[in-house]
Amino acid sequence: MQNPIYTEVTSCRDCYKCVRACPVKAIQIKDGNAMIMKDRCVYCGKCVHVCPNNAKKVRDDTERVKLAIKSGRPVFCSLAPSYAAEFAGHEEELLTALKKLGFTAISETAIGAALVTEALDIYASEHNGDCPFIGTACPAVVELVKKYYPQYVSRLAPVPSPLQTHSAYLRHLYNEDLIIVFVGPCIAKKMEADTTPGYPDLAISFDELRAWLDSEGISLDEIKPEAVDLVPKKAGITTLYPVEGGQIMSSSIWGKNRIDTKAISMSGMEEVLSALSVEDDPFPFLELLSCDGGCVNGPGTSMKGSIAQKKRKAAEWTEKRLDEPELFTGDEAFARELLEKGYSMLDASKPLAEAGFREEHTESEIKRALVELGKLTKADELNCGGCGYNTCRDMAVAYLDGMAEIEMCVTKMRKEAESKVDVLLRTIPMGVVIVDSDLQIADCNTRFLDLFGDMEEGFVDQSVLSMVKGLPLERFISFSDKFRDQFYLSHPGQYRLHFKDKYLRVTFFLVEEKRLLGAMFEDITNPTIRRETVVKKAEDVIQKSLETVQQIASLLGENAAETEIMLNSLIDAFSVHSSAESDSSFTEDEGGDLT
């Protein structure tokens, strides 16, 4: 089965934005494409929302849900309590729409949350209020612990997630033939459906639900709400679970106190990672949610509105709900069984185990990788973050793990490019200069300064070159305006230049359109002198011929005039139109692009 989050390779474009956003660096760069590694991913969905080209995709399970509904088996919807924030003002319309889509019954996932809270309250009441666990409400956090903090696996709460518990409870109340579909804000719930089939069977996001409603022509603004009974009952205080701190507030033990040091809530991956990086003693109960602010801000939501607005809407919905009669108040017998059996209540569930993909590297291996990345000294480790990793050392480890490529290191690529340009400029026999749009020198070589710097040949070195950069071009050549003209040509031209006692061929080229322009100066003095000698001798021969022609002009008539014109044209064709008295002058080169 396709991974819940995957990469559309044809849309991936070497930006590494997903690597920077991924809190666990579960992105492998291969041939320039950012591929998600299933054994490392925690399914937080960060990469999906930061990808500028929509190359990161979420698996759409809508068609599978439609097939389940057509199967004839009862299909129950486990509706996440954050629907009150996502569809604020249309809660009753949403329930009606879900029934129209074909769901047999609708039950709130918060029922499972109530059972989880009840089970943990039982544990805490029997242990002096202590419950030294990490909550399992967020599957992304559970994956994070399993894959990156195996030392804390034993600290995970001994009860399944609210969704898994809800699925187990629905099967307990009704029958095993149910198909349970989760609808909510979380992508990681798809992973739960994949790894613990039946708890639930399928999972779709609010985004997928919206698209499904649109395809069926169902508008929540237009649909007439009907009476829809939630089974087994409406949930109560645990509808606050999707807000940071909601689980703790729903507790009959911790929720009574305004301040309780035995239970701490945190949201957002940065805060979650910081919480897991410190070993507390005594260990408090940690309510950890991977999304900033809680599930109301999950990756499967429309992402409209601020987190504050979503929290307020969820809180208002819970407050309103508490005034209603006949709310679900728990099931002590089931909660105790849940606490006793834990994950074994889920058929075919896999035990929590340490991840096996992490490989430790020796210091010598890391140093070797740093050298390959061009980090020869500590000063080279700029930690610019361009590759997506926090430090160059992290990048080196990822490179050793096969997760990163050398080309990801921006500074190394830039230095290599500069080095290649420097080698080219040093070795090329022609003078080369590159100027910006303000006609200031961006780069040049020693040959250029030999020609135009009024310095003895061989005197110029790299220190002099570095001093030249940034100086105006007009300080070296008097024809700098010719450069300005070339910036606006799609194909810069080639010219011949008579400069002092030299003849130069000048070839312009665009380095970056309207920003950087280059020019190469090739010394063609010797070929030009030989050519002018030929022209001079040809002129002498032609002159003698003209004298003879003039003597027989009376015989040749107008033929003589035509011959003279033709011979003069020949002289013009072989002549170089330059002034020997001028220091520099341009002539369009016959072999180049005339502009």
* Mean pLDDT in residue range 192-211: 95
Instruction: Please tell me the predicted confidence (pLDDT) of residue 399.
Output: 75
Instruction: Please tell me the predicted confidence (pLDDT) of residue 266.
Output: 95
Q: Where are the alpha helices (DSSP H) in 255-374?
A: 269-276, 307-322, 332-341, 363-372
The two three-digit tokens of residue 533, written as one number: 């000698």
Instruction: Please tell me the predicted confidence (pLDDT) of residue 511.
Output: 83
Domain extents in the chain? 1-59, 60-345, 359-414, 428-595
Given pLDDT bands bounded at 50, 70 and 90, which one contains residue 582? very low
Element counts in the chain: helices (H) and strands (E) = 23, 16
* Mean pLDDT in residue range 435-458: 82
Long-range CB contacts (within 8 A, 24+) of 563-567: 567/542
Given pLDDT bands bounded at 50, 70 and 90, which one contains residue 548? low
User: Rounded to 5 degrees, what angle do the CA atoms 505, 510, 514 make?
Assistant: 130
* Mean pLDDT in residue range 485-509: 84
Q: Does residue 338 carry a pLDDT above 60? A: yes
Q: What is the CATH architecture of 359-414?
A: Orthogonal Bundle (1.10)
Given pLDDT bands bounded at 50, 70 and 90, which one contains residue 353? very low
Average pLDDT, the chain: 84
Q: Does residue 479 carry a pLDDT above 80? A: yes
Higher-pLDDT residue of 188 and 567 is 188
What is 1-59's CATH number, 3.40.640.10, 1.20.1250.20, 3.40.50.300, 3.30.70.20? Answer: 3.30.70.20
Instruction: Please tell me the predicted confidence (pLDDT) of residue 381.
Output: 72
Q: Does residue 554 carry a pLDDT above 60? A: no
Instruction: Please tell me the predicted confidence (pLDDT) of residue 355.
Output: 45
Report the C-alpha gap between 563 and 309 in whole angstroms: 95
Instruction: Please tell me the predicted confidence (pLDDT) of residue 259.
Output: 65
Higher-pLDDT residue of 384 and 25 is 25
**Rg of the chain's alpha carbons, rounded to an integer?**
39
By mean pLDDT, which of 263-272, 409-418, 562-571 is the weakest?
A: 562-571
Strand partners, 289: 267
CB 147, CB 355: distance < 8 Å: yes
* Mean pLDDT in residue range 251-256: 81
Instruction: Please tell me the predicted confidence (pLDDT) of residue 594.
Output: 31
The amino acid at residue 579 is S
Higher-pLDDT residue of 226 and 581 is 226
Which distant-in-sequence residues (6+ apart) come within 8 Å of 409 by Cβ?
373, 374, 386, 387, 392, 395
How would you label 502-518 residue by residue, b for 16+ Cβ within 10 Å and e otherwise?
ebbbbbbebeeeeebbb
The amino acid at residue 86 is E
Q: pTM of this prediction?
A: 0.71
Q: Are strands 502-512 and 494-499 parallel, antiparallel or unpaired?
A: antiparallel
Residue 9 DSSP symbol: G
* Mean pLDDT in residue range 476-503: 83
pLDDT tens per residue across span 19-78: 989 999 999 888 888 899 999 999 999 999 999 999 999 999 999 999 999 999 999 999
Which distant-in-sequence residues (6+ apart) come within 8 Å of 25 by Cβ?
19, 40, 388, 389, 394, 398, 403
Report the C-alpha gap between 338 and 353 in whole angstroms: 20
| Torsions phi, psi for 522 (to 5 deg) | -105, 125
Q: Do domains 1-59 and 428-595 have the same CATH topology?
A: no
Q: Does residue 428 carry a pLDDT above 70? A: yes
Instruction: Please tell me the predicted confidence (pLDDT) of residue 126.
Output: 94
Q: Does residue 142 carry a pLDDT above 80? A: yes
By mean pLDDT, which of 138-147, 345-354, 435-444, 493-502 is the weakest?
A: 345-354
CATH code of the region 428-595: 3.30.450.20
Instruction: Please tell me the predicted confidence (pLDDT) of residue 593.
Output: 35
By mean pLDDT, which of 83-87, 383-387, 490-494 is the weakest?
A: 383-387
How would you label 95-118 residue by residue, b for 16+ Cβ within 10 Å and e otherwise?
bbbbeebebebbbbbbbbbbbbbb
